[in-house]
Amino acid sequence: MWLSMGAGAIPIPIVDFVAVSAIQMDMIRQLSNQYNIEFEENQGKAIISALTGAGMARLGAGMIKVIPVVGSVLGGITFAVISGASTYAVGEVFKKHFESGGDFLSFNVDSFRTYYKEKFEQGKDMAKEMEKEKAEPEEAAVVEEMPMEEEVSSSKLDQLEKLAKLRKDKAITEAEFKKMKKEIIG
């Protein structure tokens, strides 16, 4: 989940989607090895696409990142959660299938769609909690870096917190962080 969330936060549309897909395929490869199932890359890709069904929708959601500054921040955070949740759900589906003795050839996508959706929702909650836990220590650092103005709006503070998280995740450079922070603060 962490890897997918980090890849989902990449501020460049399409690159993030490709990175998350690669992480999911590697996870499936590792699960195959763990359950002594012969890995079938093409079938794995087809199953993941059929399960998520929202590959293009996820790609579309990530397109918000093309909006300068704010789009990159908001799109990165949103896509990070979606990516983490999807990876969690895909992993849980494959674990359940492999544990029941299934392999790539016997995989029935229709029988796992509901399970995938359940695990995706569970994964979203987990990803949001992970984001929240990760952001807590960063909040103090953002406040310390802010100017001593009493009237900084809560939306600006939210933007700064998200920006600080991107910097911490190394999704943006220090120079990009400072430039964007200056734009937010005004």
Query: pLDDT, tens digit, for every residue of 41-65?
Result: 999 888 988 887 744 444 444 454 4
Angle, alpha carbons 19-40-120 (nearest 5°): 50
Other CB atoms within a 10 A radius of the CB of residue 20 amount to 28
For the chain, the domain total comes to 1
Given this model, what pLDDT does residue 10 score? Answer: 64
Please state, in angstroms and as integers, the Cα–Cα distance from residue 150 to each residue in 33, 70, 147, 162, following that order.
57, 23, 9, 20
Percent of the chain topping pLDDT 70 = 68
> Between these two residues, 11 and 46, which has the higher pLDDT value?
46
DSSP string, 42-111: HHHHHHHHHHH--HHHHHHHHGGGGSTTHHHHHHHHHHHHHHHHHHHHHHHHHHHHHHTT--STT--HHH
133-183 pLDDT per residue, tens: 766 655 445 544 544 444 445 577 777 778 788 888 888 888 887 888 777
Helix 109-145 to helix 41-52 angle (10° resolution) is 80
Given this model, what pLDDT does residue 9 score? Answer: 67
Where in the sequence is the domain holding 63, given as residue range(s)? 2-185
Task: State the average pLDDT over residues 8-37.
Answer: 82
> Between these two residues, 181 and 30, which has the higher pLDDT value?
30
- Record the pTM: 0.59
Is the pLDDT at 2 greater than 60? The verdict is yes
Q: Which two tokens stand for residue 111?
A: 């029988």
